[in-house]
Amino acid sequence: MTEKKSDKKKLLEVRKTIKDKKPEFKQQDFHKKKRIGDHWRRPTGLQSKMRHQFKGYARRVKQGWRSPVEVRGLHQKGLEVVMIHNVKELETIKPASQGVMIAATVGNKKRLEIVNKAETLKLQVLNIKVDKFKAKVAKVAEDKKKDKEQKTEKKKKTIEDSLKKAEKKEKDKEKKDKSVETPEEIDEQKAEEKKVKDDVIIHGQN
């Protein structure tokens, strides 16, 4: 087992050195004409220097640039990549030879569940830095909580202001109602004023 592991490690290092030297394979003259894409197309021209593999021209695709068969398709940690969409799928994974890669369509809530479950099962998550992700999720949750508190406070304040306005309106209405006199009161007031005037006239004549 240890020999196999050491062999795999060596092969991964070989793959890394191959991939570091590997050029980008692009279509001939892609930089000269807009209509030509930068994806690979085999050169077919009769006098094509690239087809003849002349020195100084772009490299052609060859099998020599491929990674060793034993580590082909493996992650750089030497694990087989398994795409995960939910927590249930984690149960089928072998921790010794396989690693977890969470799909991009999975939301943060489910992603956190998958990460926690993977930790309990001692599985490696290959496309997430677990500590950073957990800190990010915690921060988002805290920000949401703060926003909710601010909204509730704002709502409370608006309700209090509206109640105060309503109370003030009622008080003003009561004052207005008190200030308005009934017709009987007005007649009595007029009668009293007339009496006072009559007394003044009578006393003035005497």
- Give the residue among 5, 10, 12, 44 at the shortest CA–CA distance from 28: 44
What pLDDT, on the 0 to 100 scale, is given for residue 47? 95
Domain assignment present for residue 110? The answer is: no
The total of structural domains in the chain comes to 2
Domain assignment present for residue 169? The answer is: yes
Q: Is the pLDDT of residue 200 over 70?
A: no
Instruction: Give the number of other CB atoms < 10 A from CB of residue 125.
Output: 18
pLDDT tier at 48 (50, 70, 90 boundaries)?
Answer: very high
pLDDT tier at 63 (50, 70, 90 boundaries)?
Answer: confident
Q: Kindly state the average pLDDT of the residues 40-57.
A: 95
Domain assignment present for residue 130? The answer is: no
Q: What is the pLDDT of residues 134-146, one digit of tens each?
A: 999 999 999 999 9
- How long a stretch of residues is the chain? 206
Q: What is the pLDDT of residues 18-35, one digit of tens each?
A: 999 999 999 999 999 999
pLDDT tier at 178 (50, 70, 90 boundaries)?
Answer: low
Tokens of 116: 């926690």
What pLDDT, on the 0 to 100 scale, is given for residue 11? 93
Domain assignment present for residue 178? The answer is: yes
**CB–CB of 128/150 below 8 Å?**
no
Q: What mean pLDDT, rounded, does the chain reach?
A: 86
Domain assignment present for residue 118? The answer is: no
Domain assignment present for residue 39? The answer is: yes
By residue range, what is the domain housing residue 21?
1-73
- In the three-class reduction of DSSP (H, G, I as helix; E, B as strand; rest coil), residue 98 is classed as strand
Q: Is the pLDDT of residue 1 over 70?
A: no
Domain assignment present for residue 54? The answer is: yes
Domain assignment present for residue 139? The answer is: no
